[in-house]
């Protein structure tokens, strides 16, 4: 079994993240994961999303699973921790945890499956050796 690095990004709940019940709407947690991944792709892996786009490539989410533990509310700060769990021929599974600060209490955890696509066609394409090497840290 491969073990890949975990990276962290600190984010804050914004007023527009709050739903009718005065906590973060469930769909916003995926937004937090996406924001953290964009940050980490550039800062930690050294291959930002813009590089994929320049190569005519993009990542499409094919599925996601979230296990909610505790809600986040207005003014909360969080750590979004993500890591590659596994690679497939044309994609990867990214696992994540979101912990509220400063208590480090788990808000949720889960994973997202992504497939690499050629932007011109929208069809999946195999991962290149460069992508595997840069993201398998």
CA-CA distances (angstroms) from residue 4 to 21, 86, 92, 94, 136? 37, 8, 12, 10, 6
Taking the whole predicted model, whether its pTM rises above 0.85 is answered as yes
- Sketch the domain layout of the chain as residue ranges: 7-135
CA-CA distances (angstroms) from residue 128 to 13, 52, 90, 131? 36, 11, 9, 5
7-135 belongs to which CATH class? alpha beta
pLDDT in tens, the chain (137 residues): 677 999 999 999 999 999 999 999 999 999 999 999 999 999 999 999 999 999 999 999 999 999 999 999 999 999 999 999 999 999 999 999 999 999 999 999 999 999 999 999 999 999 999 999 999 99
CB 83 within 8 A of CB 94: yes
Q: How far apart are alpha carbons 52 and 60 in whole angstroms?
A: 12
Which helix (DSSP H) or strand (DSSP E) does residue 133 occupy? helix 129-135
Residue whose pair of structure tokens reads 């979230």 in the numeric block: 66
């Amino acid at each position: 079994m491969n073990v890949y690095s975990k990276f962290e990004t600190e984010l804050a709940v914004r007023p527009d993240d709050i739903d009718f019940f005065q906590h973060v709407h469930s769909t916003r947690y995926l937004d937090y994961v996406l924001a953290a991944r964009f940050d980490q792709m550039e800062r930690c892996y050294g291959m930002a999303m813009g590089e994929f786009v320049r190569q005519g490539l993009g990542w499409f989410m094919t599925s996601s699973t979230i296990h909610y533990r505790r809600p986040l509310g207005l003014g909360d700060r969080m750590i979004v921790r993500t890591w590659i769990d596994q690679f497939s021929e044309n994609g990867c599974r990214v696992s994540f945890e979101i912990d509220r600060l400063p208590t480090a209490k788990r808000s949720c955890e889960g994973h997202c499956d992504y497939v690499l696509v050629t932007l011109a066609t929208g069809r999946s394409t195999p991962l290149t050796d460069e992508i595997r090497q840069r993201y398998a840290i």
